[in-house]
A and B are shown apart, each in its own frame.
Chain A
Amino acid sequence: MADSISRTIRDGALEGEHAPSLTIKDTTASPYGFDVFTHVLSQASSLILAGKSQSRGLVVVAYSRSPSFYLDFLKRSGVDVASSQKWIHILDCYTDPLGWKHQLADSGILPSNSSAGACLFQDVKDINKLQSLILELGSGLVGQGKVRFSVAIDSVTEMLRHVPLSKVAALISDLRSHDQISSIFWLLHSDIHDVRVTTSLEYLSAMVASVESLNQSSDGLSGDLGNLSLLEQNFRRGKFHVRFKRRNGRVRVMNEQFHMEESGIKFTSVTVEDGLVSQGLVPKVLFNLELSEKEKLERARVVLPFEHQGNGKHIQIYDGRRSLAPESMGEVSADTSQSNTEECSNGGGEIIYFRDSDDERPDSDEDPDDDLDI
């Protein structure tokens, strides 16, 4: 739930604990991760401005959008950017990440223009420098004392283009364990990376928010033009799935739906579906005393090898004597033989029953006691 995320970020870190960290991940099937990121950003900003959150400042490390975009966005979301110098710093890794423009400007090819406001960072391969710059900017905002600030990394995907995973992980874990950081959140496009990258970043985060599409089939090329409008509609919606790692070691899973509108992303809650999670965790050691509906129907259809089928038909009792009238005998024997060898058509099983009394010779008038020699 987006609110729970904001609340966790607002509450920040406890003394002696790692700062809470959030991974927002999306895929090309539902590429709204950036909207979620900006949503969290605007919520965090408004909380900082209102003084309700533990952190008093925000450092945004911008790789995929320019700083002016962020300032405009915040203005549109109703956050007061006039005083932005006091509470937000945007580290510009977007304009000139590798320092090429600077080199070209030096050699006179490009006119140099200085970017106002945001801090320009031109050496994204140097992760140590980035880390120290983040900390410097942050403490510049909040001072040196016990006050904390939050860090938002625009896109870890972009960061991973320049720097290997172990260094990014080291940066994040250093920031988390730093006593001036209140919370940290970042965006990741999970389908571009190896599974290892995604799992490593999830390992380091206390909350994992994933943006998924409504229909599970990732292949959108169904080729059905009639459904195109439906597809388009569904594309603007999706599922928002969050896993929280709680302090006591349990994992809280929350699901919501979101839809994209002009003004941004909107979240709606969804009814909780039955989890089949428990089945996988608990070892299966039980036996089943219940029958499902299908099994009950099957059981009702089995023809038992007795005359009393319990279905209202006239009960024919076989008493071993065949001295009855042949017609009725014929009927009786035909019926009984039929019922005996009738196959259970539904289950495919067969109950073949031969009565032991059939082995007796009928109507023997012998008195078994005659054998006795008294």
Chain B
Amino acid sequence: MAATKTRTSSFSRNLPAASSAQSPEIKCGPNGTFLVSSGIPDLDKTLGGGIPLGSLVMVMEDSEAPHHMLLLRNFMSQGLVHKQPLLYASPSKDPRGFLGTLPSPSSPKDDKSRSHDAEQEKGLRIAWQYKKYFGENQSNLDGQRGMILFRFIVLYNKQEFSNEFDLRRPLDRHFYTGQHVDCISTKDLPNIAALQERCTSFLSQFSRYICTFFAIDFVGFTNLLIVTFRNDATVACTGRIAIQSLCAPQCESSNMEWEMLSFIRSLKSTVRSAIAVAIITFPSSLVSATFCKRWQHLADCLVSVKAIPDEDKELAKLLTGYQDIVGFLNIHRVPRINTQVPAVLEATTLSIKLQKRRYLVLECLNQAPVDGSSGSSYGTSGSCSGASSKSGSLDF
């Protein structure tokens, strides 16, 4: 919610002027970028506030687990809740059916009870990872301002930047039965060109730069003047594109690796010059290694999800809260637009948990050294994070 600087030059960028107070779904990020929420508050926090407009997020799927669907669902729901136009492509025959499974934003009293539970769990803990607790307080301060308003002003539908989504409650139909939601099935497309066309036409509504050429007769001379107009009609609109399982084996186009690569490249460049965000998930094990590397290089934000084995005693000893963890999320690259300074994350591996089987939560992994004298890990006692490590790196 920062004030925008008004520019006086005629070459002004078509920035969403509604970034101040009017539309909470966009907030100002560092280096002149604008951020939208990914639908998962923990992920937003790790990425530095949200996903910058114009970036391409790529998610590398694990063929053994459907965690990328959790990310997609939250992303799409967040867009729909903010009434942002959405384009969804999937390899199933009926992509519209998937919209019925999108989660609905959770009501504030659910959130309240959730934070209470977290408090009670702690008990007496040795704050091994003390930063984790700081982080929680901070996020409470930032995100809860809107929440406090929500609780008191019940009738006023105040939107926030980022919502908590309840995976067990489906989204109300009116959110996705509008003109602004478009679905494509990639299964029977003979080649990738059809998808490319749809994406381009979708993104043309959100383009930032509109150039108009004027010929002005000036005392006998004709001058060409380039003027950019603010595209006021769409100033409050941010587009979202969600492409699921781009290279799924049942799609005809999965064999054409060069075409898919050029599609991703053109999508990336179109998205960069549009007020939009695109997310693509793809099964990395099904793409050949060289192309996988190329696709990864094209991403502005690269994450991967990983399945974890079930009933694994080793892992249960290594991590606390193993019972709640459903998978891992690795953040390989954080979007850095307009800057050369790299982002160094505290932790690149987050655990995906479903709290009460409803709320998607990403947490840093809690591990600690083993107790040297007794040789057992603290993890078994449960109060502290515990770990046992058999890899000898440093020996004291």
Contact = CB atoms under 8 A, between A and B. Distances in A.
Interface of A: 16, 165-166, 169-170, 172-174, 177, 196, 199-204, 243-246, 248-253, 274-279, 281-292, 295
A286 B250 contact: no
A170 B315 contact: no
Contacts of A281: 306, 308, 315, 328
B369 A174 contact: no
B349 interface: yes
B286 A275 contact: no
B309 A286 contact: no
Interface stretch (B62-70, B196-204, B235-243): B62-70
Contacts of B251: 166, 170
B93 A253 contact: no
Contacts of A249: 65-67, 307, 326-327, 352
Contacts of A170: 187, 250-252
Contacts of B221: none
A284 B392 contact: no
Contact of A173 (B250, B368, B390, B395): B250
Contacts of A196: 286, 288
Contacts of A199: 63, 285-286
B307 A251 contact: yes
Interface of B: 63-67, 91-93, 101, 187, 248-252, 254-255, 283, 285-286, 288, 306-312, 314-315, 318-319, 326-328, 348-349, 352, 354, 365, 367-372, 375, 387, 389-396
B372 A289 contact: yes
Nearest to A277: B309
A226 B392 CA distance: 42
> Of B187, B348, B368, which is in contact with the most chain A CB atoms at under 10 Å from its CB?
B187
A192 B254 CA distance: 21
B291 to A, nearest CB: 11
B368 to A, nearest CB: 8
Contacts of B394: 287-288
Contacts of B306: 281
B250 A166 contact: yes
> Of B66, B248, B328, which is in contact with the most chain A CB atoms at under 10 Å from its CB?
B248
A286 B387 contact: yes
A249 B372 CA distance: 35
Nearest to A202: B63
A284 B348 CA distance: 12
B370 A173 contact: no
Contact of A284 (B67, B254, B391): B391
Contacts of B93: 174, 177
A279 B369 CA distance: 15
Nearest to B288: A196
26 contacts: A166-B252, A166-B254, A169-B249, A172-B250, A174-B93, A177-B93, A199-B63, A200-B286, A243-B64, A246-B310, A250-B310, A252-B310, A252-B311, A253-B310, A277-B312, A279-B390, A281-B328, A282-B318, A282-B367, A284-B389, A284-B391, A285-B367, A286-B391, A289-B372, A289-B396, A290-B370
A286 B367 contact: yes
B97 to A, nearest CB: 8
A165 B249 contact: yes
A251 B65 contact: yes
Tell me the dominant secondary structure on chain A's binding face.
Answer: mixed
Nearest to B308: A250
A166 B395 contact: no
A90 B390 CA distance: 54
A198 to B, nearest CB: 10
Nearest to A169: B249
B392 A292 contact: yes
Tell me the dominant secondary structure on chain B's binding face.
Answer: loop
A288 B314 contact: no
The 8 closest A-B pairs by CB, nearest first: A169-B249, A200-B249, A289-B372, A250-B310, A252-B310, A278-B315, A278-B314, A170-B250
Given A169-B249, A285-B367, 10 more contacts: A166-B252, A174-B250, A245-B64, A249-B65, A250-B309, A275-B309, A275-B314, A284-B391, A286-B367, A288-B391
A208 B365 CA distance: 29
Contact of A252 (B309, B314, B368): B309
B349 A283 contact: yes
Given A196-B286, A278-B314, A290-B370, A251 B309 contact: yes
B396 A287 contact: yes
A288 B67 contact: no
B310 A288 contact: no
A274 B391 contact: no
B181 to A, nearest CB: 20
Nearest to A289: B372
Contact of A287 (B315, B318, B369): B369
A223 B317 CA distance: 45
A283 B365 contact: yes
B375 A250 contact: no
A287 B93 CA distance: 51
A131 B128 CA distance: 58
Contacts of B369: 286-287, 289
Contacts of B308: 250-251, 281
A83 to B, nearest CB: 35
A279 B391 contact: yes
Contacts of A177: 92-93
Contacts of A251: 64-65, 307-310
Given A203-B63, A245-B64, A288 B309 contact: no
B198 to A, nearest CB: 21
B326 A250 contact: yes
A363 B315 CA distance: 66
A252 B326 CA distance: 12
Contact of B393 (A165, A246, A282, A287): A287
Nearest to B372: A289
B315 A282 contact: yes
Contacts of B288: 196
A126 B339 CA distance: 54
Nearest to B70: A249
Nearest to B306: A281
B367 A277 contact: no
A127 B332 CA distance: 40
Nearest to A172: B250
Contact of B312 (A166, A246, A278, A288): A278
Nearest to B368: A286
B393 A284 contact: yes
